[in-house]
Structure 1
Amino acid sequence: MARNGINKREIDKWARNLVKETNKSLERAQRRNPPRVSAQIEATSSAVPGEVTGYLARLLLWLDDREKQNPGGYIDITAFPEELRLEDEDPAILALQLDQHGLVQILRAMGPRTHVRLTDAGRVAVREQKDVQKDRAARLRHTMDALLRWLFDTANDQTPVNPALFLATPGSYFAGTEISGTDLHQALAYLAEHKLIEHIDTDPATVTITPQGVSCALTGGSVQDHVNQPRPGATYNTYLPNAKGVLIGEQQHFTQNNTDGVDPTLFVQLAGYVGQVSPILGLSDEDRVELERVAQELHDEATSGNPEPGRLRQFATQLKDQLLAGATTMAATQGIQMTEQALAGLVQ
């Protein structure tokens, strides 16, 4: 059963306890030998801008360590996927990926092309990674972004999932080093605090991505971009109505002066609500895009200096018609009720 409405201290305690469970249940051997995501699927933020992340970044550091033992010599990287138990990774492909970035030189004279040595650009990239590793804020931003993206890819239907499994993905590396339990704890707490994920009381504990989290992932931006973006008008937490039909959520204050006697508050709330719940209405991609477009137009009109009653009515009516297509869901039913209330206030 989900626990909603908890405060920041409770969120932090939950995340800390979840990470403790993770550390107990996920031994190092298990972390190195689960079903793996391809190293070509990289994390959202790069410790070496424009270059490599995930396992490839780890490979750069691995090569740097081996080069100290054999300066200037070629190194066979077949041992790298063996050490990390990346059974699905072809060392020749890993070598080619680094070669394409100009970070290694491949020995092409004989046998499989898995013998490489770092180029000058590769040595600079290693130094940059080691510098970035000291950036605590960058590490936390990466962890939040990679974790949310992984949740979207893994459970975008809002199925609860054990966040410990994230530690077995390329995104769990930052600048070639592993994400720590502290990093995971802080990322979980932050995402939960800002309603991008919701924790579920299961054993072991699980999390699910919320519609807000889905919206953040779909934009392609960072978690910080989503959290810090200005949100004029009403913003609702993504909770469905309770038994009395009351929406459980939080609102920002909305103030607007206009000379036409029109109170746009309900229309602003309606547009914000529809924008958040559109991914869970069961609409086709085409219909969902159209729904969000109309909601944006309603929001723009409602937050303008002097909203026109005719345009408010037009956009709200369009939203109601589109919501009727998803009326089998509680979210759509609530949206229809909000539309009717807004339209009723328009004629008073």
Structure 2
Amino acid sequence: MQKSYKLTCIYFVLTCLMLFVAARSQLTEDFYVKTCPNLFNIVRKEVRNAIKFEMRMAASLLRLHFHDCFVNGCDASILLDGNDGEKFAAPNLNSARGYEVVDTIKNAVESACSGIVSCADILAIAARDSVLLSGGPLWKVLLGRRDGLVSNQTEANISLPSPFETLEAIIAKFIAVGLNTTDVVALSGAHTIGLSRCAFFSNRLSNFSGTGAPDSTLDSTLISELQSACPVNSDGNNTVPFDRNSRDLFDNHYFSNLLNGRGILHSDQTLFSSDAAVSTTRSLVQLYSNNSALFFSDFINSMIKMGNISPVTGLNGQIRKNCRVVNP
């Protein structure tokens, strides 16, 4: 009887511990309400300063969160330095940016509440604030992520969607991380802000190869504009706005562009113009082009879903003191 009683007590304690860890592993809106109560104000101040200095940074910070979550989940692994890390994967090399801004935010947060807030959560908050400060919607960010210990360059090369891929391939990559077709279209709407390097769409312009006609889905006026912005034999590093009419405003004009053949990247225009789009994404592009409220609502839902891709929580991972390196 005494042995049975002891086993029951042990089982009860273990069960309580498991429930406690499980509860702590759930992302919540108020995760830092007691441990770092001024967190949101600190992050927004630094994001605002960065965007005032360079409007493009809003898109860059948003993209960092996206590219982080698609590899190993939302664990800030993209921020880790090292030649074998995600920073040097093909989709990120000379493309992903904003690391210094994240450093500045992290330093400000550490000054207020040292060792409390993860770099992964900072990325999630900074992405939200970048959208908001660009005129987009506000949402409550779920928090409680911890930072991963490994940056996976190979996985980044495999898992991140490419601007050159087919719609079917892009949808498959979203499904692989638990997202769906609606998420593909809604999150692609982030290209309402930001810039693209010529290298990412030069294959659509005949002047780069010297042979063949331009992509038939491109508006003829846009072709001329892009050819002027991306001279023959250039290194491909010139940049153009994704949305040439409201480049710094987070709105639904991106989708109107797709209807008019003015999507800069192949991966953008394919959402409307490809054969596969007829049964998958075209109707959503049309809906969002006419209804900004619907786009904003679906974008919020998709951002929250994306932020929940395999987060490191509970007793796993760590809270990095420096977002670029694992704690010693």
> What TM-score do you get using the length of structure 1 for normalisation?
0.30
Q: Give the structure, 1 or 2, with the largest relative contact order (CA under 8 Å, sep 6 or more).
A: 2
> Whose Rg is larger?
1
> What TM-score do you get using the length of structure 2 for normalisation?
0.31
